Amino acid sequence: MSDTAITALLEELREVDFETWKDIRFLLLNSMMFSEPREIPLEQHIYHDIIQGCIQRAIAAHPDWIMFQWRRAGKWRTSIRRGLSGYSDPEYMHIVENDTPAAAILAAYIEAKRAMR
């Protein structure tokens, strides 16, 4: 997934969870003084780390959500489901696949938030 696609996902996040979007934008703008990744690999990693960290904290704020992330066939998959103690609601399970861990967790979180509406 290109960083342009992550930018599009961030705009979707703005619609479904403005507070988390605001946290991400604040950290991106204040930690590196730019809002989009540049060609420097370290800056690209920091950009993705900030996004992934903010989304993980947002998921943790939902005590009944469980998140798994794994890599399969060169793609990252993130699963967010509702349910504790091994039980999950089959109506509320989201598995998303993308090129980077940050894109996968961001897309799965957006789907989970939309399902709550």
Q: Is the pLDDT of residue 1 over 50?
A: no
**Which domains, from first to last, does the chain contain?**
3-116 (3.30.160)
Q: Write down the pTM of the prediction.
A: 0.83
pLDDT, average across residues 1-22: 88
Which has the closest alpha carbon to 88: 62, 66, 111, 61? 66
> Quick one: average pLDDT of 69-76?
91
Residues ≥6 apart with Cβ < 8 Å to 52: 101, 102, 105, 106
Residue 63, phi then psi, degrees to nearest 5? -65, -20
pLDDT band per the 50, 70, 90 thresholds, residue 29 = confident
Q: What is the pLDDT of residue 20?
A: 97
97-113 pLDDT per residue, tens:
888 999 999 999 999 99
